[in-house]
């Protein structure tokens, strides 16, 4: 797994602090004109390597990234048409729902009902 640039910055900072401490202790004990010690030289080499790695990562980050190929959807095959339904028989015609019988129709109906009642009484009387 690659090391992030931010973690390299942190490592460079820690290395710089250790290098500074080593340089100050050398100057304090031996003087400024003495060559760096092995520990100090190792810290300098590590710092140089960290800075090169950081520069390489930053250069790599500026390069164009590979893009994913666009997803091509496959066309679905057309569905088979459904079979036509059988024709239904027409329903019986019903009178209009809001039909109001006229006065003449009411009288005719009333007369027919009275006539049927009289015939029904005569039949029951014979039996």
3-class DSSP state for residue 75?
Answer: coil
pLDDT in tens, 71-102: 888 989 989 888 888 888 888 766 667 778 89
In sign, the C-alpha dihedral spanning 23, 26, 31, 34 is: negative
- In the DSSP assignment, the letter for residue 20 is H
- Residues contacting 16, CB < 8 A, separation 6+: 47
Element of type H or E holding 118: helix 103-126
pTM value is: 0.48
Percent of the chain with pLDDT over 90: 39
């Amino acid at each position: 797994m690659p090391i992030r640039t931010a973690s390299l910055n942190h490592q460079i900072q820690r290395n710089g602090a250790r290098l500074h401490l080593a340089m100050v202790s050398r100057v304090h004990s031996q003087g400024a004109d003495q060559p760096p010690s092995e520990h100090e030289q190792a810290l300098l080499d590590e710092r140089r390597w960290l800075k090169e790695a950081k520069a390489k990562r930053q250069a790599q980050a500026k390069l164009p990234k590979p893009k994913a190929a666009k997803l091509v959807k496959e066309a679905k095959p057309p569905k088979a048409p459904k079979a036509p339904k059988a024709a239904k028989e027409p329903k019986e015609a019903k009178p209009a729902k809001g039909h109001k019988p006229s006065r003449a129709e009411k009288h005719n109906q009333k007369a027919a009902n009275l006539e049927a009642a009289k015939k029904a009484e005569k039949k029951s009387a014979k039996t």
